[in-house]
Amino acid sequence: EVVLTQSPGTLSLSPGEMATLSCRASQSLSSIYVAWYQHKPGQAPKFLIYGASTRATGIPDRFSANGSGTDFTLTISRLEPDDFAMYYCQHYGDSPLYAFGQGTRLEIK
Amino acid sequence: QVQLVQSGAEVKKPGASVKVSCKASSYTFANHYIHWVRQAPGQGLEWMGWISAYNGNTNYAQKLQGRVTMTRDTSTSTVYMELSSLRSEDTAVYYCARGSVTMGAYWGQGALVTVSS
């Protein structure tokens, strides 16, 4: 069974800085099935990235992602106040069919 | 624009069932899957299952097998998620989302289900 482990649990940064969020899988993943979401309290999750590195429609290029195998990364350059939120990686596979990481909280320092 | 509008908050007693609806609009309903994802207080996102709006086929998370049922009504472009034998751990915000291998960009606004005696 695939387990997605995100690190760090909490990342404290200031606006203008760069954030690097990690998603590590317990076994090698197919990159085309890796996605990232942003989630704020009281709102629905926001679709950011699919296919491990492709930005969803309307997502600014400050958001970038890459990875392969067991290691995937979401990078947010030049943090803006609106970027501070929870971030989740997600994979579609066999077991389980869909898995989310436990999330990384990006908070204002 | 694509919209998924969910039913409102519910309060249920342990052992009861809850049925949450998700009404789709502004796209061809039958062309997409609808996922259900929940978030318990202080917890992360949990995938519950999906239903094909085309033929009603379903696939449920193993953890919820036997307690969750997803159905759809093509005449009203509405998907339903029913969860039975509710426990306090089922207290969560329940989201529907239009997607396939990902949950995609279109989500409902969420529906809070509180299980309390």
Instruction: Flag whether pLDDT at A10 surpasses 90.
Output: yes
Instruction: Flag whether pLDDT at A96 surpasses 90.
Output: no
Residue A93 is predicted with a pLDDT of: 87
pLDDT band at A95 (very low <50, low <70, confident <90, very high): confident
For residue A63, what is the DSSP state?
A: E
Instruction: Flag whether pLDDT at B65 surpasses 90.
Output: yes
Q: How far apart are CA A68 and CA A83, in angstroms?
A: 25
Query: Looking at residues A17-33, what average pLDDT do you find?
Result: 96
Instruction: Flag whether pLDDT at B103 surpasses 90.
Output: no
For residue B42, what is the DSSP state?
A: T
Contacts for B60 with CB less than 8 Å, ≥ 6 apart: B48, B49, B68, B70
Query: Looking at residues A63-71, what average pLDDT do you find?
Result: 97
Mean pLDDT for chain B?
A: 97
Q: Which two tokens stand for residue A13?
A: 């940064």
Closest partner residue to B105 (CB to CB) among A47, A97, A103 is A47
* Best CA proximity match to A103, nearest among A17, A41, A31, A32: A41
CB contact under 8 A, B95 and A98: no
CB contact under 8 A, B62 and A96: yes
Contact in structure between B96 and B35 (CB atoms under 8 Å): yes
Burial class (CB in 10 A: 0-12, 13-18, 19+), A95: exposed
Q: How far apart are CA B84 and CA B65, in angstroms?
A: 11
Q: Which two tokens stand for residue B109?
A: 């606004």
Residue A79 is predicted with a pLDDT of: 97
Query: Looking at residues B87-110, what average pLDDT do you find?
Result: 95
Percent with pLDDT over 70 in chain A: 100
CB contact under 8 A, B101 and A33: yes
Residue B100 is predicted with a pLDDT of: 87
Instruction: Flag whether pLDDT at A97 surpasses 90.
Output: no
Q: How far apart are CA B23 and CA B35, in angstroms?
A: 13
Query: How far is Cα of residue B17 from the mean position of the Cα atoms in its chain?
Result: 13
Instruction: Flag whether pLDDT at B79 surpasses 90.
Output: yes
Chain B contacts of A101, Cβ < 8 Å? 44
Query: How far is Cα of residue A88 from the mean position of the Cα atoms in its chain?
Result: 5
CB contact under 8 A, A50 and B102: yes
Query: Looking at residues B111-115, what average pLDDT do you find?
Result: 98
Q: Which two tokens stand for residue A10?
A: 């909490």
Q: Which of residues 4-33 of B touch A (CB under 8 A)?
A: none
Sign of the alpha-carbon dihedral angle for B2, B23, B74, A90: positive
Residue B78 is predicted with a pLDDT of: 98
Closest partner residue to B47 (CB to CB) among A39, A46, A98 is A98
Instruction: Flag whether pLDDT at B101 surpasses 90.
Output: no
Q: How far is CA B40 from CA A26, A28, A41, B67, B111, in A?
A: 24, 28, 12, 17, 12
pLDDT tens digits, A42-65: 999 999 999 999 999 999 999 999
Nearest CA in chain B to A102: B44
Query: Looking at residues B104-110, what average pLDDT do you find?
Result: 95
Percent with pLDDT over 90 in chain A: 94
